[in-house]
Structure 1
Amino acid sequence: MLLVSYTRDGDEARRLGVQRDDTVIDIATLTAEYGAVVPGLGAAPATVLDLVHAAPEAVAALTELLTRPVPEAARHPLAEVTLKAPLRPGKIVGVGLNYTEHVAESARTLDTDKELPQRPVLFSKPATAVTGPGEPIWHDGDLTTQLDWECELAVVIGRTAKRVRPEDALDHVFGYSIVNDISARDQRRSEQWFYSKGQDSYAPFGPAVRTADDVPDPHALDLSLRVNGEVKQKGNTRHMLFRIPELIADISAGMTLEPGDVIATGSPAGVGASFTPQQFLTPGDMVEATVESIGTLRNPVVDAR
């Protein structure tokens, strides 16, 4: 299933939907039609996060529910709803330098180590950095002139993970989405990345979550990013240096991952700092991050001042 969080008709209450092509199916309306009860909740899940916290059987129950005829009242054209960030993560764990070519370009332009990491390079983004599809990436010219992009596959955790073995790690994944890891390259402080990557709006997230049962191999997905229609990044998740089971095992060895947490798994080559001359985002730009089977996350760059 391709899950979305959306609003409609000016109502700011967020609703859980399933996207099928150009239609969003409202789960609460569908459930009311058939009197279905989702296991683990006692009622229809109201949000994506409700579904994440429910028992795994809830996804199966919704999948079965969606095999039934969908009443017209539950169908909304995608163009008539406003998609939001799928959920607000408890924490976002970023993975740096996780594609070989990105390691090389970062060493050349950002003074990072030219040697391949021997363990995952981890950093964090606060939940306040999250912004949804269509919402602005804020450009504050008083803070940065080097606002950069990174298209990344996002892993949404579905079960509490503590000291998980790699062979069991994918059992803890609820689904997959997109994070655009925005960075103010000139706000790295003593090589620490938190402020550079953690400012408000620096984690565009969405536009949907594809449930794990619908992704046969998360390490075979094309990624790309465009700025104003021009391709800047193009890669595939098979080129990850540390794959998702290794990442979950490494992180959970000392940090509990909880349902709704997000791992941003790293960026392929083609960030703005790698170009000659360097290219950075400015107000008026439109950034589009795409991951196969999930969709395209579009965000305008807007002057914050």
Structure 2
Amino acid sequence: MNDMEKKRVVIVNQNITRYKAQPEAEVVFTSSSKDAANNLINLNPRIIELVGGDGTLSGTLNDVLIANGSFLKDKLIKITPRGSGNDRHKSLIELNRAGLYSTLAGNFEKTEDVAIRIITDDYLLATINDTYQRYIFNVGGIGLDSQTLLEYEDLRRRKMPATFRYFEAATKAIYKLNGSVGKVDYDVPGIGLDSAEPVMFLFMLGKYFGGGMPINQKLQNNDGMFESVILRRGTNLKLFRSLIAISMLQQPQYNNPLVSYLKPMNKVKLQVDNTDKFYFESDGEVLMEGNNPVTVRKIEVEIAGKITYLLD
């Protein structure tokens, strides 16, 4: 292994004022995901450490992959959580506790060979309106989740736990979204075509969502599949109760008709009709065009590749 392959580059969100890295690491404080991506492409490190939240992970790796689709091959990604949600990191911890990791022997910035723990997982590619492309590393979706994030931004200065802030934002989003009319036709290869009138349609790899809510029933990684959950329209109270039930993974017991978990899939196509309030978000970032969220008319989500995470 040569010096370049040993190199660790640490990307630090500029909002984080203090961070102590290993002496061998090269630390880069960045003002934008494009700045971070340019540094990574130029330095081409073996280990990439991202210090921040889900947005730092998603924004940086999206810009890297858009510039070079094969960049993550043979790379190790380490997440040092410093964000408000850190759901991808929480999901990796869960996989680690379940023993769903492997070991890799090698001289990684140390004086002797040691075995390190790694987890390899899938990531997704979403193509929106045949125009925009976004990679998903934990959870993405349309509807309530994206509207909630827009409301969440207005509550960031509130001094409250992230989960409480999320539910307050979700309550506001439910009131705004539930009155709109819209239908989604979805086509899953091997399963067929179906339709729903959803408030939310999620595509899930990780277990956690919305600042630590365990939303995904499947605890399996690197299987070339992802799950989807549909939250259908209902009264505001039923929607809020359903969201709580989903977040507590108690939906099967409730048998709530507003909620449907689809069988694991490797691809899905959605056609959205009669609504101008369905926006797209991935890993806590709403897809924007300028200062406005992009209205989703159609979307295709599929397995895009593999990513290897370096555990603590």
Query: Is the shorter-chain TM-score for this pair beyond 0.5, marking a shared fold?
Result: no
TM class by shorter-chain length?
under 0.3
TM-score w.r.t. the length of structure 2 is: 0.27
Q: Which has the higher strand share?
A: 2
TM-score by length of 1: 0.27
